[in-house]
Structure 1
């Protein structure tokens, strides 16, 4: 393996570790918000965090993805799930499975679309800052330089 290929492989592993950590922290944040807040605050924070989690999972699967592409994919997925709720299929699946209820929800709610966009924007910003920091470290000859 050449030094360049090895460096790319190390960067991908490092990015996946960060993405997995971000996913865990996102789930913890969602559970934490649910434990201290209720009503619309918890619901809409959960919507935004849902999209942040999807963004982290996109990066976990495709570590070289650009922040805008990952945020767009996460937002598109979140919106697709929300619009699918208009069909009644998610409600039927959610009635049979707690996992389906968590992933698919059951009832269309138009304001959710806005909060998914908020989550996508937050994930884009965090990913962009992380990528810039990683590039700065590589450029300075620090950890991950290669």
Structure 2
């Protein structure tokens, strides 16, 4: 598996964070929360790749989903709510309230990130195969 360029990953992370902040501050209605959750999972996916730029897309997707599920399940303990009381900005990372539907949004966000990443890798591989060797 070729390493993804860190610059590209940092740019992807910045775009996802910007989109997430936009959704968190401007979006309303029934799709606002699930969209934010899907973007959260996409960001976790990119962070997995920043740690391991050669990780296969399916593995990065599985890890991102597992991390998101762990964070959501941790909300059942009350520990994240206590952390948010002490450090309010941490709500963007750990949340406060367990919502079962969030699990679906995380899965969809990680799956979409996986598909996009695999597609980009495929396009890069094809372009390299089609270019003349030097």
TM-score by length of 1: 0.84
Bigger radius of gyration, 1 or 2?
A: 1
In the TM superposition, residue 35 of structure 1 has moved relative to its aligned partner by 4.3
In the alignment, is residue 59 of structure 1 matched against residue 45 of structure 2?
Answer: no
In the alignment, is residue 138 of structure 1 matched against residue 114 of structure 2?
Answer: no
Aligned residue pair count: 134
Give CA-to-partner distance per residue, 1:72-124, whole Å, 9 cap, x none.
Answer: 00000000000000011011001111232111001100000000011011101
In the alignment, is residue 88 of structure 1 matched against residue 85 of structure 2?
Answer: no
In the TM superposition, residue 23 of structure 1 has moved relative to its aligned partner by 0.7
Task: Out of 23-32 and 34-43, give the one that drifted further.
Answer: 34-43
Where 1:40 maps in the other structure, the secondary structure is coil
In the TM superposition, residue 62 of structure 1 has moved relative to its aligned partner by 0.7
**Please, what is the CA RMSD of the aligned residues?**
1.9
In the alignment, is residue 105 of structure 1 matched against residue 99 of structure 2?
Answer: no
